[in-house]
């Protein structure tokens, strides 16, 4: 299998589409893209490099999955690798937790430098 682009696209099911869109655009600096209604619900596409993050709000959002890295199957974290942490988002700022999300308190959004040779 040969990839068509140097990235993957990820879809996240969300309960509050405007709040999550605001988080990814305003806090992390992803670029807004297409908005549309699909058979699964409202969708917004946000771009990051060649990749796409699709936020999907179904008509009846399902209950949240249990918290914790190994508490449920599926995607448990999402990493954005950047060359210049100063170029987007607000590094060092406390990251707001979307309304209704449980778990640990927000931690500052920080940049981790790439290892040598990467």
E strands, the chain, in order? 9-13, 31-38, 41-48, 51-57
Per-residue confidence (pLDDT) for residue 47, from 0 to 100: 92
Per-residue confidence (pLDDT) for residue 44, from 0 to 100: 96
Does the model's pTM come out above 0.95?
no
Average of per-residue pLDDT values in the chain: 76
Domains belonging to the chain, first-starting first, are: 6-60+79-98 (3.10.180.10)
Question: Taking residues 36-51, what's their average pLDDT?
Answer: 92
- Using CA atoms, how far residue 95 sits from 7, 23, 77, in Å, is 25, 8, 15
Question: Taking residues 20-46, what's their average pLDDT?
Answer: 91
Check if the beta carbon of residue 32 is closer than 8 Å to that of residue 25: yes
Distance (Å, whole) CA 30 – CA 47: 6
């Amino acid at each position: 299998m040969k990839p068509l682009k140097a990235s993957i696209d990820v879809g996240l099911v969300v309960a509050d589409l405007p709040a999550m869109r605001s988080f990814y655009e305003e806090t992390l600096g992803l670029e807004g893209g297409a908005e549309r209604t699909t058979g699964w619900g409202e969708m917004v596409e946000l771009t990051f490099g060649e990749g796409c993050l699709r936020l999907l709000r179904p008509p009846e959002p399902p209950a949240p999955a249990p918290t914790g890295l190994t508490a449920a199957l599926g995607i448990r974290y999402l990493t954005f690798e950047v060359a210049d942490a100063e170029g987007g988002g607000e590094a060092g700022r406390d990251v707001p937790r979307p309304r209704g999300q449980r778990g640990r308190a927000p931690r500052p959004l920080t940049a981790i430098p790439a290892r040598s040779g990467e």
